[in-house]
Amino acid sequence: MRILLSLGVLSVMIAAAHAGTLVGKLDLPQTPASPQVTKGFLDRSENPFAPVRSIDIARQVVVVVEGEEKPVSPPQVMWDLVGESFAKPVIAAPAGADVVIRNTSKVPRTLVVKENAKLLDPGPLNPTATKSFKATDVGKSFTVGDKDAPHVVGHVVIVNTQFIAYPDESGHFQIDNIPPGAYKVKIWYRDNWLQRPDDDVNVSAKGKTELNPKIAAAAFASPAPAK
């Protein structure tokens, strides 16, 4: 038993020793101000002291690196519900992974998957409790929301890889432990793939491979409906 365990750890260490890292920065377009989702009795007004902030696109972007290899031993994807929103408004889950939604807020939520209401168990998701569903269909995306709080919305996309990155506010991202080889870099924004050619990248066995995808504003346009 000990021998088997030792062999396993050794193989992982050997694999890691032969894995690369993909780093980069998304070159995002200038974004407009965030749209007004709801309106009170009055229209919102800008403060007189500083320009208003624009939409934080990077928070809703997922960088996905897909290669020939299929995800092995799919991990569990933890998705936190914090207060009035998801910690990550958009996530990507490898095919076969369990997507676990954890309520870290202090209020119960009644979450529903818009595309498939049976995907999540009915009933409220109490504080500190979890609910999960299995990601099976590659390429499919789901919208999870609280029917009592329309502003609580999250998107999840099922991908055929386990190499996923979430850029920070400035667009920087990093994916570690990528086996060397040729990959395609795809970018998911909210509920669709960006309308742009995929980036090809060769990840080297050692060191960091840098990729700075440039994204035009037109890429955020909704895709044409399939004929």
Summarize as ranges the residues that interact with other proteins (CB under 8 A).
Answer: 33-34, 36-47, 49-53, 82-87, 105-106, 148-152
Q: What angle do CA 91, 168, 141 make, to 5 degrees?
A: 15
75/83 with CB nearer other proteins: 83
Give 111: exposed, middle or buried? Use CB within 10 Å, 0-12, 13-18, 19+.
buried
| Residue 89 CB contacts under 8 Å (≥ 6 apart), including other chains | 59, 60, 153, 154, 155, 190
1/50 with CB nearer other proteins: 50
Cα–Cα distance for residue pair 158/137, rounded to 1 Å: 6
Give 42: exposed, middle or buried? Use CB within 10 Å, 0-12, 13-18, 19+.
exposed
147/214 with CB nearer other proteins: 147
Task: Pull the structure tokens for residue 78.
Answer: 């933890």
- Give least dist CB 175 to other proteins, A: 25
- Give least dist CB 28 to other proteins, A: 17
Strand partners, 24: 173, 211
- Give least dist CB 80 to other proteins, A: 10
Task: Pull the structure tokens for residue 44.
Answer: 């919102």
55/216 with CB nearer other proteins: 55
Give Cα separations from 24 to 88, 173, 182, 208 (angstroms).
Answer: 20, 6, 16, 10
- Give least dist CB 219 to other proteins, A: 23
42/224 with CB nearer other proteins: 42
76/104 with CB nearer other proteins: 104
53/227 with CB nearer other proteins: 53
Cα–Cα distance for residue pair 93/70, rounded to 1 Å: 13
Strand partners, 77: 99
- How far out from the chain centre does Cα 132 lie? 16
- Give least dist CB 32 to other proteins, A: 11
Task: Pull the structure tokens for residue 125.
Answer: 């998701």
- Give least dist CB 112 to other proteins, A: 14
- Give least dist CB 81 to other proteins, A: 9
